[in-house]
Chains A and B, each alone.
Chain A
């Protein structure tokens, strides 16, 4: 540009003085030069900006690297899908744009028979709101149908929907969410934060349950509850070494995909949400406490032939043990008198301390939506202490009972149950309560319950099941308890030669005479027959049915 500029040396030396007409041309050239300079400056600025603004591809890639979901998938310990988030559509309306609310409502009702006319019209005429929801959870086919209708002001909106592929299986474990994916029950509620966080990271939440064992436990509980005309049932299977819950069943059950059609009674979790007086399933702890405190020995003989009077209350056995009895007999024949005498030796303070350490006086830590706190008032006198010795005066959940029974699978230490699958080398917190010698001794007695005592129906040839039956009368009779309504249960540990698993089965509101040994113990045997191979345990083949 310089040769053409006004200050050019050459222009003075070589060219004659520029004529006056050339001035506008020079200005144009200057203007052009400035314009080009400005454009180049802009380009330079933009190139600097691009140079320092990073890679746009990398940015968009990182934004879509993880497909985040509002709620993560829930899978069982083997990766079987239990709950997932799928696409769904909502039928929406913009009332301000709806041309004829009546005609629109009629047309929609032809395609969605579930819609009710009055509420639908009310929503279509609700011009205070920009958008209103008319129906949720539409399928892809329904969405296409709505689009094809081309109704003015009517549209569909994409949303997420929680789907439970296993249907009613494990319903009380998994729980369910509301239409807006707000958790309502089960691990959906108990592990809500974990499920949301996992959803953001695009990973699944792995539970400790195994759907195969879950199915076996549920079907056996269902069959037994119907046969016993029970009002409810609860069952739980734990890996007693780690606290992992392998199966957890409540009866009656429900389908979380059709939550609107279920009753509140069916949705109730009876394992961690219902409390009951435990009955005789607490007796092994009474015996263990006495052994631990050196208040009794395995060879000691007790005269249990007569009822025991404590503070004007008579404690007796339904079938008094004639002659002398040992600790083994107290458990095998489920003697209330024997357990009461041991409890009285122990005293209220020590008994309470043991019950607290066994986790029977505080709510469970299991990650379920409903965790019912136990009803565990402090013993007011000798009568209460004696009653606690054989399972009265303390109401707690079946999951707390199962957790307490883990002392027999951990050499006297208790582990807290969990719904999450643990890594093989994961640390497990254990609370030492009894010495290994004491729990081994009590295990011998629990095995005797199944071989010679009240729990014979729980026996599975080849598996060495140990456990204790329990039958607690329900409150409600004229004298406080109703003899015709029982809470019948069985708490077991297996295999007895290398205790690892804990199973508790309970049936609520069974009839008179339907003891734990008659209605709950068979459920344990039948369930264990089915699941033992899944646990790598061998059982002897069942005798062919006649």
Chain B
């Protein structure tokens, strides 16, 4: 009688263990799927933000371009960086170029 009870309890225990394992496995799988979805969502968000960052970087590069900086420098500070010929009207550009030296450099190379 005692042997039978022990066996029965063992069988019930084994059955319970299997059920617990099955439930545990199901939950683990559900968690993994949920996490995977979360990772997908985050990846999408990262891609979205990276795209935005790329746009902002392009905007920064445009704002910091030498041409714009020089223009701002000239407009707001009155400084002319380097050459005085930049962005001048054509007739003034000619005046700013070094004076020709006709008596010395008329020869063709």
Contacts and interface: CB of A to CB of B under 8 A. Distances in A.
Query: Does A pair with B?
Result: yes
Interface of A: 1, 3, 10, 39-40, 43, 46-47, 50, 56-57, 60-61, 64, 67, 80-82, 84-87, 163, 165-167, 169, 211-212, 214-216, 219-220, 222-224, 226-227, 279-280, 317-319, 333-334, 454, 456-457, 468-471, 513, 515-518, 522, 525-526, 529-530, 545
B58 A223 contact: no
A39 B25 CA distance: 13
A3 B3 CA distance: 12
Interface size range on B against A: 35 or more
Given A165-B60, A470-B109, A518-B105, 6 more contacts: A43-B18, A64-B43, A87-B51, A211-B66, A212-B66, A226-B90
B105 A43 contact: no
B46 A223 contact: no
Interface string B83-107: 1111110100110111011001111
A518 B65 contact: no
A513 B29 CA distance: 85
A160 B21 CA distance: 49
A51 B82 CA distance: 69
A167 B90 contact: no
A158 to B, nearest CB: 9
Contact of A166 (B4, B8, B61, B90): B61
Nearest to A65: B43
B93 A227 contact: yes
Contacts of B86: 219-220, 222-223
A289 to B, nearest CB: 19
Q: Which 10 A-B pairs have the closest CB atoms?
A: A530-B82, A165-B61, A334-B109, A215-B66, A81-B61, A319-B107, A223-B85, A280-B109, A64-B43, A165-B62
Nearest to B43: A64
14 contacts: A43-B18, A50-B25, A56-B32, A60-B39, A86-B51, A167-B67, A215-B66, A215-B70, A219-B85, A219-B86, A317-B107, A334-B108, A517-B109, A529-B83
Interface in B51-90: 51, 54-55, 57-62, 64-67, 70, 81-88, 90
A86 B97 CA distance: 42
Contacts of A223: 83, 85-86, 88, 93, 96-97
B42 to A, nearest CB: 9
B16 interface: no
Contacts, number: 152
B36 A56 contact: yes
Contact of A81 (B58, B101, B106): B58
B59 A165 contact: yes
Contacts of B11: 1
A219 B81 CA distance: 11
Contact of B105 (A1, A214, A515): A515
Nearest to A63: B43
B40 interface: yes
Contact of A469 (B4, B8, B106, B109): B109
A413 to B, nearest CB: 27
Q: Please report whether the interface of chain A is mostly helix, strand, loop or mixed according to DSSP.
A: helix
B44 to A, nearest CB: 9
Interface of B: 4, 8, 11, 18, 21-22, 25, 29, 32-33, 35-36, 39-40, 43, 46-47, 50-51, 54-55, 57-62, 64-67, 70, 81-88, 90, 93-94, 96-98, 100-101, 104-109
A215 B82 CA distance: 11
A383 B11 CA distance: 111
B93 A215 contact: no
A179 to B, nearest CB: 18
Given A227-B93, A456-B105, A64 B65 contact: no
A464 to B, nearest CB: 19
B36 A220 contact: no
A457 B98 contact: yes
A60 B107 contact: no
Max count, chain A CB within 10 A of own CB: residue among B66, B82, B109: B109
A527 to B, nearest CB: 8
B29 A50 contact: yes
A314 B11 CA distance: 118
Q: Which of B40, B62, B87 has the most CB of A within 10 A?
A: B62
B109 A166 contact: no
Question: Most chain-A Cβ atoms within 10 A of its Cβ — which of B46, B67, B70?
Answer: B67
Nearest to A472: B109
A545 B84 contact: yes
B58 A518 contact: no
Contacts of B8: 3
A86 B108 contact: no
A84 B109 contact: no
A163 B59 CA distance: 10
A81 B63 CA distance: 11
B58 A84 contact: yes
Contacts of B21: 43, 47
B94 A166 contact: no
B67 A215 contact: yes
A187 to B, nearest CB: 17
A243 B108 CA distance: 31
A85 B53 CA distance: 11
Contacts of A457: 98, 105
Given A165-B61, A166-B65, A457-B98, A86 B55 contact: yes
A60 B46 CA distance: 14
A518 B51 CA distance: 50
A517 B34 CA distance: 75
Given A67-B46, A80-B61, A333-B107, A3 B4 contact: yes
Contacts of B87: 219
Contacts of B54: 84-87
Contact of A522 (B4, B43, B51, B97): B97
B74 to A, nearest CB: 12
